[in-house]
């Protein structure tokens, strides 16, 4: 974890959202989430969207972290959203990206100065970035290259 702490701090400073992920088939990855929460609380925007993601749900027979444990942990630690996903089967991946994009857009509409005092660009700006479209493109590309 120490090798990646500096990068993690840089990524978090001023971010509008933070996604923490753990492998449902590997308990130690879930156990480390508390350490990352400390990093978030120290370095992230205090109003950043916080999302907890359990990954590799396609490995159900190897599951070590039950869904209800992830849900309870997310609720107890004030995460805004919890979901379990699988990159291998694409389960809930698109839903995750859509949820993040929708929630961030909604919050930016409510308060354009929420994120570091910067004014948000128009959400209908033709020069903007379509996160959902990019995510879908990335998923299709990954599926065709590795998940046959």
Distance CA 35, CA 44 (A): 14
In this predicted structure, the answer to whether residue 19 has a pLDDT above a threshold of 60 is yes
pLDDT tens across 109-132, in order?
A: 776 654 455 444 434 444 444 444
Complete domains list, the chain, with CATH: 2-146 (3.40.50.300)
With the CA atoms of 46, 114, 122 and 133 taken in that order, what torsion angle do they form, in degrees rounded to the nearest 10?
10
pTM of the model: 0.67
Q: What is the pLDDT of residue 111?
A: 63
Distance CA 12, CA 86 (A): 24
């Amino acid at each position: 974890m120490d090798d990646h702490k500096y990068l993690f701090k840089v990524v978090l400073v001023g971010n509008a959202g933070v996604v923490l992920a753990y492998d449902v088939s590997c308990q130690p990855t879930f156990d480390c989430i508390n350490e990352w929460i400390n990093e978030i609380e120290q370095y992230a925007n205090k109003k950043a969207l916080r999302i907890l993601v359990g990954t590799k749900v396609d490995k159900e027979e190897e599951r070590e972290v039950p869904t209800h444990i992830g849900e309870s942990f997310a609720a107890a630690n004030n995460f805004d959203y919890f979901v379990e996903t699988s990159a291998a089967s694409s389960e809930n991946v698109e839903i995750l990206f859509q949820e993040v994009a929708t929630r961030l857009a909604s919050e930016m509409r409510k308060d354009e100065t929420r994120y570091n005092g910067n004014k948000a660009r128009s959400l209908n700006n033709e020069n903007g970035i379509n996160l959902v479209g990019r995510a879908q493109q990335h998923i299709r590309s990954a599926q065709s290259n590795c998940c046959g």
